[in-house]
């Protein structure tokens, strides 16, 4: 038995750039955003929170938003895997900042997880006016709006863009 949907069917195209900027902007409105704080895994029989309560959530924040807009293939928990998927999904490097671009900042010494000596990588979104939104790793564990180079303390390594964002 085939039943018709009770609402009229509309053929729509999601405006990806406008939606992306709205989702990212909304992530820092009205208080703390707990959505990207925890992701549990099993490591040798022990349950761990690989995001360390928001301390390692920048790649999850970026990749899950991009996945929802069909701009990458799958969600990720690391900048390395997110960048690989970005490039495999049609993202490419550009020279100038544009609202909606993905920013990958220079690597820092330290460790991503407490017991792994892996250089700290960071990823986020450029939103315009020399501002970016990314998940604040060790400071709060929540998405925050900040200066694009953290007031000249962390340089941008890559700026990535997708041609789908030009269709708005």
Q: Which CATH number fits the domain that encloses residue 21?
A: 3.90.1720.10
Looking at the structure of the chain, the number of domains it has is: 1
Distance, CA of 164 to CA of 14 (rounded, Å): 10
Asked if the model's pLDDT at residue 53 lies above 80, the reply is yes
Domain-embedded: residue 8? no
* Poorest-pLDDT segment among 15-24, 137-146, 157-166: 137-146
Domain-embedded: residue 118? yes
Domain-embedded: residue 103? yes
Domain-embedded: residue 124? yes
Asked if 43 and 68 touch (Cβ cutoff 8 Å), the reply is: no
Structural domain containing residue 54: 16-167
Express as a percent the part of the chain with pLDDT over 70: 95
Q: Please state whether the predicted TM-score (pTM) of the whole model is above 0.85.
A: yes
Domain-embedded: residue 42? yes
Domain-embedded: residue 76? yes
Cβ neighbors of 37 (< 8 A, separation 6 or more) are: 51, 53, 54, 57, 141, 142
Asked if the model's pLDDT at residue 91 lies above 70, the reply is yes
Domain-embedded: residue 95? yes
Band (pLDDT 50/70/90 cuts) for residue 25 is: very high
Domain-embedded: residue 31? yes
């Amino acid at each position: 038995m085939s039943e018709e949907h009770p609402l009229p069917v509309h053929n729509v195209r999601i405006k990806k750039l406008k939606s992306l900027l709205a989702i990212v902007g909304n992530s820092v409105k009205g208080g703390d955003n707990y959505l990207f704080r925890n992701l549990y895994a099993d490591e040798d029989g022990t349950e761990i929170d690989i995001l360390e309560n928001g301390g390692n959530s920048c790649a999850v924040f970026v990749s899950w938003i991009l996945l929802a807009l069909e701009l990458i293939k799958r969600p990720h928990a690391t900048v390395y895997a997110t960048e690989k998927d970005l490039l495999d999904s049609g993202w490419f490097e550009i020279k100038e900042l544009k609202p909606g671009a993905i920013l990958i900042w220079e690597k820092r010494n330290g460790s991503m997880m407490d017991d792994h000596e892996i250089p700290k990588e960071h990823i986020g979104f450029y939103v315009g006016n020399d501002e970016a939104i990314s998940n604040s790793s060790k400071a709060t564990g929540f998405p925050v709006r900040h200066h694009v180079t953290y007031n000249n303390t962390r340089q941008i390594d890559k700026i990535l863009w997708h041609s789908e964002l030009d269709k708005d």
